[in-house]
Amino acid sequence: MRSTIVAGNWKMHLDVAAARTLAGAVSAHVRSAALPPQVGVVLCPPAPLLAAVIDEVRDTSIGVGAQNMHAADSGAYTGETSAGMLLSLGCTHVILGHSERRQYFHESDQLVNGKLLQALRQGLRPIVCIGETLEQRETGITQPVLEIQLRESLAGISAEELRGVILAYEPVWAIGTGRTATPEQAQEAHAFIRSVLADMSDSDTAAHMVIQYGGSVKADNAAELFAQPDVDGGLVGGASLDATAFAAIIDAAR
């Protein structure tokens, strides 16, 4: 059985005190909820808040991920963070290729691939984001766009390594807009992604890979989205900043 993973992407929000409060509330819910082992929770705060969140979720099953990292071990890269630094803090995951990184910081599939290779070498579990813009969807090229992103972002990865990669399908037109792909649209995209993964590796590997949905996931639509056969949880943005809403989304992943 595949895992269902709910990850909260806090983006550039909160301060240390607020991060501790939110992480503490999520920790309390996870402790009391007695989640089945196949349901995972990951919190992804901004880099300056990672240590505080790791401290708050200690001794729970909650993973902590960074929102980005550099592909190099170390070097003269002012403002960047290495995988080794993240591991030394206690991070378990890292988001790579989020649409906002691609849009605002011009990250290419090739750059994402370099970061992915480094994350896997270092032992961080990557959450690799792919997704089409509204213009691409309306012109009917969603599937070619997703296939290119998959093949280029995941280049050079063995079938064994692929099983450790989490994918997040995030239609760019649904991120922070309040618009959400219908469950049917999400399932169609996820099924297509899984078919490409099978072609890139094998059907068993593709069947075991976790593919999250990201794009205005909320407490009132999470259960229907997660019920789709190829949707394995969510990469949650704004709703992850509200402890009550995020708890409801976690519960929907049961």
Cα angle vertex 97, ends 71, 118, to 5°?
Answer: 25
Band of pLDDT at residue 179, cut at 50, 70 and 90 = confident
Give per-residue pLDDT as tens, 49-95.
Answer: 999 999 999 999 999 999 999 999 999 999 999 999 999 999 999 99
Q: What is the mean pLDDT of residues 210-232?
A: 96
Residue 170 confidence (pLDDT) above 90: yes
| Active site (catalytic) residues | 98, 170
Instruction: Quickly count helices (H) and strands (E) in the chain.
Output: 12, 8
Mean pLDDT computed over every residue of the chain: 96
**pLDDT higher than 80, residue 176:** no
Rounded alpha-carbon distances, angstroms, from residue 90 to 26, 63, 126, 233: 18, 9, 15, 23
